[in-house]
Structure 1
């Protein structure tokens, strides 16, 4: 079996273990396809792991140990790779941090705060500071920069995920920033929508009861892996891959999309609100 181009395992923890995985796989005489037989993952996914570009999920690490007879080596090293990849982010966010980069589609519902991928620095800073009032300025700025860096996926010319954000009206009509900063925040959402990077929708405050009232969720799909759901609270988050629960959340999100205003109407409202803030006014209601 021909060996591929060598990987520099000294570059980082993920590349070290990725190189080890490929060495073990090739030593066993297994192609990418043969190694993955019995798993839910595609060969592009595995190749990215072997090059240190993607984290190995726990179930795939266990699969590797079973197929390669490595006595739990890769399962034990999963935590090392996770720690190496989550700088500036909470431990519970580690799966999402990587998944966003490889997602085919990302769909979010945010009833309480604007989603991290859409936040400007002042908005992110206000949220981080409110959650950690005693933190140093340096620590806060590290968190803000880490959050802003995630949004660079919208700046690439290829492999941009289809992104859909359903927002509650109160996020725009009840701002947490000064009018100029809020105008800047809304202008960012408008600009991304006009560039066809995102599709925003608004759930109006007058709609009554609606699906997912008590949850903030992110739905992510991939070309080479099963879908993931991520739910979050103030100091915790949970990644869900159970097929039954994923299906239930998926249906609820689709019902919520039906409740929300159309993308065109929503965008026009966001633009109007941005103009109001720019003029020093605060919109009482977006309708």
Structure 2
């Protein structure tokens, strides 16, 4: 499908309307950024649909453009199925041309099997119902569809060896999960590298990290903690994150060695079932 014929997402429509209203008002991205108290880069992300403004920023946009609450009201209709700190990341994944992700202790969401995801959701919900868990799993499965089709982003996955060793959902679930990752790597759907325990300390030891690049915009970086996350577009911070990723990657096993290690770990989990 040609890019111009691709259906626009609600976020993209929001961004296009913002760009139109800004242009009609005779403002540059720099000028609007000054009025909204944010960077021109962030205005660019809003206009491309890569990010949504906060309610406060939307209110300032309305004041700057004289749109009488239009963008703040529309923002309410764009509520996501994801936590506030993560909703923007999901939209960016759909637009990214390349994704570089590092996982410290858990399999990244884009690669999780349904059983692995369900075990995770069950672990941090003290009171859960089967319906709630099913809903969460469906949402995560739908998110992974960004990897399907010819327009999917180029995906590099860097895993700490701890990801392979921590049994989530039991040995059978873990074995299937790791075989899935190895299958995707061998099929060329992902580039896979593992940071073995033998590498010792490395530059990403304190946090997971996702880097995203775009054909028509500046790159972004995302880090996450318990019930919180931080999406960065400030060039110096993004560059620092990229350097940290590159340093960790330089300590990792090769793609071939990584696939072999993931297969071996899967077989060890499978053996634990017996």
Q: Give the alignment's TM-score, normalised by structure 1.
A: 0.76
Distance 2:262 2:181 in 1: 8
**Is the 8 Å Cα contact of residues 186 and 259 (structure 2) preserved in structure 1?**
no
Partner in structure 2 of residue 205 of structure 1: 197
Q: Unaligned 5+ residue runs, structure 2?
A: 32-39
**Is the 8 Å Cα contact of residues 45 and 224 (structure 1) preserved in structure 2?**
no
Counterpart check, 1:80 vs 2:76: yes
Partner in structure 2 of residue 285 of structure 1: none
Partner in structure 1 of residue 117 of structure 2: 124
Distance 1:44 1:206 in 2: 40
**Is the 8 Å Cα contact of residues 15 and 46 (structure 2) preserved in structure 1?**
no
Partner in structure 2 of residue 142 of structure 1: 135
Distance 2:148 2:10 in 1: 27
Aligned runs of 1:131-210 on 2, under 5 Å? 131-156=124-149, 158-210=150-202
Distance 1:261 1:143 in 2: 33
Q: Unaligned 5+ residue runs, structure 1?
A: 283-287
Please, which of 229, 232, 252 is the counterpart of residue 224 of structure 2?
232
Distance 1:215 1:276 in 2: 27
Q: Post-superposition shift, 1:202?
A: 0.8
Partner in structure 1 of residue 37 of structure 2: none
Please, which of 97, 100, 107 is the counterpart of residue 104 of structure 1?
97
**Is the 8 Å Cα contact of residues 221 and 238 (structure 2) preserved in structure 1?**
yes
Task: Show CA shifts across 1:5-49 (max 9, x none).
Answer: 9x99xxx975885685587579x399xxx9768754899995x75
Counterpart check, 1:221 vs 2:216: no
Task: Show CA shifts across 1:161-214 (max 9, x none).
Answer: 111111111221232232222121012111211221111111111222111211
**Is the 8 Å Cα contact of residues 55 and 82 (structure 1) preserved in structure 2?**
no
Distance 2:207 2:162 in 1: 15
Q: Which moved more, 1:220-229 or 1:246-255?
A: 220-229
How many matched pairs?
261
Task: Show CA shifts across 1:43-85 (max 9, x none).
Answer: 9995x75xxxx654469968975885435642x24641441xx
**Is the 8 Å Cα contact of residues 207 and 223 (structure 2) preserved in structure 1?**
yes
Distance 2:201 2:76 in 1: 44
Distance 1:230-1:44 versus aligned 2 partners, 3 A rule: closer
Task: Show CA shifts across 1:220-240 (max 9, x none).
Answer: 111122211111112111111
Distance 1:205 1:220 in 2: 26
Please, which of 83, 87, 96 is the counterpart of residue 94 of structure 1?
87
Q: Give SS of 2:198's match.
A: coil
Distance 1:65 1:214 in 2: 39
Q: Give the alignment's TM-score, normalised by structure 2.
A: 0.79
Partner in structure 1 of residue 240 of structure 2: 248
Distance 2:221 2:60 in 1: 22
Q: Which moved more, 1:61-70 or 1:199-208?
A: 61-70
